[in-house]
Amino acid sequence: MKRRIGCALVAVLGLGVLMSPFALITGRRVYRVRWGVDHAALVAACREIVANESVYKTVTSYSMPDRPRIDVTDKQLPDIVRRLQPTYLFVSGDVVEIEMGGGLGHYGLLVFTQGEATNNTARYPHRKMDRLDDGVWYYTL
């Protein structure tokens, strides 16, 4: 019995040691995404992306073949967006979705380039959303 408890404790502590660097990296990225970016400049860059969407390389995802996304490694993307190191970048009408996470940790920014949506929680009901600035919302799933 003591041996099982000891093994379980070692396993939990070992997992914690392995996961702590990932938690630190994610924590830094969340901070940078939420507060370490000039929101007005980001909205301007996203307006440029919407206006010139056909210029950027696209990638078709096997999980969402009907929703092509902009290749985040495209050197033509505005610097402010590339510096965020997004995982995915989607354009839907006047909204640019900058996805940062993946798997079980989805988070990112929704940038409304043509003015603020009046009820973003109704438009995206499965996301927890926080307004950061005019047209810029942070979300988590």
Q: What is the count of structural domains for the chain?
A: 2
Shared domain check, 56 and 30: no
| Amino acid letter, residue 57 | K
Q: Bridge-partner residues for 129, per DSSP?
A: 139
Whether residues 47 and 101 share a domain: the answer is: yes
* Residues 115 and 56 grouped into a single domain: yes
Enter the tokens of residue 8: 């379980």
pLDDT tens profile 39-92: 999 999 999 999 999 899 988 776 666 677 899 999 999 999 999 999 989 998
% of the chain with per-residue pLDDT over 70? 69
- Rounded CA-CA distance 27/33 in Å is 10
Full domain range(s) for residue 87: 38-140
For residues 59 and 4, membership in a common domain is answered with no
Mean pLDDT of the chain: 77
Q: What is the pTM of this model?
A: 0.74
Examine the domain organization and report whether 62 and 6 are in the same domain: no
pLDDT score recorded for residue 46? 95
Predicted confidence band of residue 27 (pLDDT cuts 50, 70, 90) = low
DSSP classification of residue 87:
S
